[in-house]
A and B are shown apart, each in its own frame.
Chain A
């Protein structure tokens, strides 16, 4: 059930080893990345500086003056073969709602501002994403993007950014878009973007190459720690969590933004024991079960 081809390893300069579990994206590859990273962290190897799980791969940063690159490579290969069973992964996670104003004026304004870096400069990013996925009806597109939750398969880019990959959909049902031809130099904070099969919420103003299709009313990074739910951390995202976008209109967007500013907003979320094994067996039905009453 978790049959994955052999991982491909590569050196990244003198301080990194990159391990590609698969070239294609799948939830299974991500579960394997999490399993290996958990194992590696537990072993607490001196000389390993950073262990970064990503969508279908992982990256290890090490100090080559403590740990020889080739010895570490052999060591990682062994873990990859013998200790990467995602069936043993049981995750205590949260399902979190991301209220999203789709096709909003800010996204349109950024589409216009950076159109010279875009493959279809005459379309807004939202229109481009619709077209790339064969939609002509705006509401149908929003429904297709928001109906199932996204598994947080990777965090990073800028602190607080989380990649969300939809669960419970057939590959053909997953919305996908190419990235910008050349990255934007600016992206609005809390902009919702799609690139490949992934959806992100940009945590701060920065660069970005995903197609901007809306705005999240809630922050995913809180430098000032105003919100009770982010009291212990700057970041909303945790790998393995499920994020569910809920389409909202301008009025509700403004109302939630005001609550966030006052520090009274509480994220709509629930705690879940998530079994990757059960998801792989039952698929969509399992996700629907988890979503009940949410």
Chain B
């Protein structure tokens, strides 16, 4: 059991997401930075979809109710097990009664805590992920607060052999302040002018403070629209289209001065023009970017997007093999 002594800023139970309910408006949810999250489970020898904790900027204070193995990944953060500094990207043993606490993370946004056997909240529609807006899944559909008690699985057979296994530095993400985000252009982009598309790609964009698991907002440049009449039923603002289902990663342009990228807790549809879609692997980078940090959007083809996806997959397979060879 994990006893929550302090909830931290925004801590939720997440796994790899909830599939198949988007037609009801239910977004996938799941870990915002899947790469870091999956590595947490690989370190423990857990199946990759086992539920862990996603911690935002300031983690919780947790007391462990039994002896087990944990791994801390994602945004670099100072964490203390009792009073000892806890290494990140490494499988570590904890004893009953140990207390884990955190300082504010200084780079990135989301850190992950995985536990051998996973966190055992009930599955809702096939997933343990928390979707706070509809109070579904996770721990009572909400972020953790003081007094919560989360069941955890039994340490898996062989779990204690994982102790000391660690991720080589080449697999650990760089926590740069400026990101390049790859985009497949298109979807409902026809209302944006050629000039607007050029500006979008040539500009540096700044992350706004109004950003979370639902969507990230960006400011810093101005995208011009075509002058033609809006389609019937869309609404008469230049950014308005007939409402449609947005892909996760869709880049909405609600007005000339703002772009919004939808993340895992996305509102599933709406009526703003979209200029393109950020590829699935780069959503992790968005979720780890802090307010006021910078990014650029780079256009790629769907074939290049597939290539990026397969490279990521191969990297995780290589890491898994490396971990198996350790110890």
Interface string of A160-180 (1 = CB under 8 A from B): 110101000001001011111
Say yes or no: A53-B186 contact (C-beta < 8 A), given A178-B235, A179-B237, A179-B271: no
CB atoms of B22 and A196 under 8 A apart = no
Sample (21) of A-B pairs whose CB atoms are under 8 Å apart: A12-B247, A13-B279, A16-B248, A18-B186, A18-B245, A24-B242, A49-B20, A53-B23, A55-B242, A57-B242, A59-B247, A61-B22, A65-B313, A157-B267, A158-B267, A160-B134, A178-B240, A182-B258, A196-B243, A223-B141, A234-B134
Interface string of A49-65 (1 = CB under 8 A from B): 11111111111010011
Kindly list chain A residues whose C-beta atoms are within 8 Å of the C-beta of B244.
18, 20, 54-57, 59, 154
Instruction: Name B276-297 residues within 8 Å CB distance of A.
Output: 277-280
Give the residue name and chain of the B residue nearest to A194 (CB): B235
Among B234, B242, B254: residue with most chain A CB under 10 A: B242
A206 CB-CB contact with B under 8 Å: yes
- Nearest-Cβ distance from residue B25 to partner chain A, whole angstroms: 3
Docked complex Cα distance between A206 and B215 (Å) = 12
Interface string of A181-224 (1 = CB under 8 A from B): 11101000000000111100001101101000000000001010
Instruction: Name A122-167 residues within 8 Å CB distance of B.
Output: 132, 154-161, 163, 165
CB atoms of A196 and B234 under 8 A apart = yes
CB atoms of B23 and A23 under 8 A apart = no
Residues of B in contact with A (beta carbons under 8 Å apart): 19-26, 133-136, 141, 183-184, 186-188, 190, 210, 214-215, 231-237, 239-250, 254-255, 258, 260, 267-272, 277-280, 302, 305-306, 308-310, 313
CB atoms of A209 and B231 under 8 A apart = no
Docked complex Cα distance between A182 and B215 (Å) = 13
Give the residue name and chain of the B residue nearest to A153 (CB): B243
A25 CB-CB contact with B under 8 Å: yes
- Nearest-Cβ distance from residue B110 to partner chain A, whole angstroms: 21
Kindly list chain A residues whose C-beta atoms are within 8 Å of the C-beta of B280.
13-15
- Nearest-Cβ distance from residue A75 to partner chain B, whole angstroms: 15
Kindly list chain A residues whose C-beta atoms are within 8 Å of the C-beta of B235.
176-179, 195-196
A156-B245, A196-B243, A209-B254 given; name 4 further pairs at CB < 8 Å: A13-B183, A52-B268, A159-B25, A178-B235
Q: How many residues of A contact B (CB 8 A)?
A: 65
CB atoms of A179 and B272 under 8 A apart = yes
Docked complex Cα distance between A225 and B142 (Å) = 18
A116 CB-CB contact with B under 8 Å: no
Kindly list chain A residues whose C-beta atoms are within 8 Å of the C-beta of B231.
23-25
Q: Which of A18, A177, A209 contacts B270 (CB 8 A)?
A: A209
Among B20, B21, B183, B241: residue with most chain A CB under 10 A: B241
CB atoms of B187 and A10 under 8 A apart = yes
Say yes or no: A197-B23 contact (C-beta < 8 A), given A12-B186, A16-B277, A57-B245: no
Kindly list chain B residues whose C-beta atoms are within 8 Å of the C-beta of A204.
133-134
- Nearest-Cβ distance from residue A132 to partner chain B, whole angstroms: 8
A283 CB-CB contact with B under 8 Å: no
CB atoms of B25 and A18 under 8 A apart = no
Residues of A in contact with B (beta carbons under 8 Å apart): 10-16, 18, 20, 23-26, 49-59, 61, 64-65, 69-70, 119, 132, 154-161, 163, 165, 171, 174, 176-183, 185, 195-198, 203-204, 206-207, 209, 221, 223, 234-235
Docked complex Cα distance between A119 and B215 (Å) = 23
Say yes or no: A221-B134 contact (C-beta < 8 A), given A25-B234, A156-B269, A158-B25: yes
Give the residue name and chain of the A residue nearest to B250 (CB): A12
Among B184, B186, B232, B235: residue with most chain A CB under 10 A: B235
- Nearest-Cβ distance from residue A249 to partner chain B, whole angstroms: 29
Give the residue name and chain of the B residue nearest to A56 (CB): B242
- Nearest-Cβ distance from residue B58 to partner chain A, whole angstroms: 22
CB atoms of A182 and B133 under 8 A apart = no
Give the residue name and chain of the A residue nearest to B274 (CB): A12
The 8 A-B pairs of least Cβ separation, nearest first, read: A25-B233, A12-B247, A156-B25, A13-B277, A156-B268, A16-B247, A197-B233, A196-B235
Q: Which of B241, B268, B306, B308 contacts A69 (CB 8 A)?
A: B306
Docked complex Cα distance between A181 and B214 (Å) = 19
Kindly list chain B residues whose C-beta atoms are within 8 Å of the C-beta of A12.
184, 186-187, 247, 249-250, 277
CB atoms of A13 and B249 under 8 A apart = yes
Docked complex Cα distance between A69 and B183 (Å) = 16
